[in-house]
């Protein structure tokens, strides 16, 4: 569905080419601190991302084993945004 070359490095390079070498990109850590997302907590929360999901870089992809939450990048054919959560089909 998407080229394996459309990754975070590709988009950073594209932004640098458009905005110049002064472009530093977003300060993800600072944004997370401001919005509180570095201290996520809960129980039985499942974060899912498809391997071809263009939004996976904005999502939680890994968590410590001891966490009651789970994060996983699903690797399946045509695994894009939330496709692994669709209803079961006879072709599955």
Structure confidence by residue, pLDDT tens digits, 2-58: 688 888 888 888 888 888 876 666 677 777 777 766 567 778 888 888 777 777 777
pLDDT for the residue numbered 49: 81
pLDDT for the residue numbered 23: 65
Half-sphere exposure of 73 (CA within 13 A, CB side): 13
**In the block, which residue shows the tokens 């990754």?**
7
pLDDT for the residue numbered 39: 65
The answer to whether 45 touches 63, Cβ cutoff 8 Å, is no
Residue 1 scores a pLDDT above 60:
no
The answer to whether 40 touches 64, Cβ cutoff 8 Å, is no
pTM to 2 decimals?
0.45
Mean pLDDT of 72-89: 74
Among residues 90, 70, 86, 67, the alpha carbon closest in space to that of 78 is found at 86
């Amino acid at each position: 569905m998407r080229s394996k070359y459309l990754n975070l490095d590709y988009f950073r390079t594209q932004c640098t080419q458009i905005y110049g070498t002064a472009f530093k990109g977003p300060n993800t850590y600072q944004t997370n601190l401001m919005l509180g997302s570095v201290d996520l907590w809960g129980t039985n929360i499942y974060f899912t991302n498809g391997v071809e999901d263009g939004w996976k870089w904005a999502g939680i992809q890994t968590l410590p084993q001891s966490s009651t939450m789970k994060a996983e990048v699903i690797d399946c054919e045509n695994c894009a945004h939330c496709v692994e959560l669709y209803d079961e089909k006879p072709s599955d």
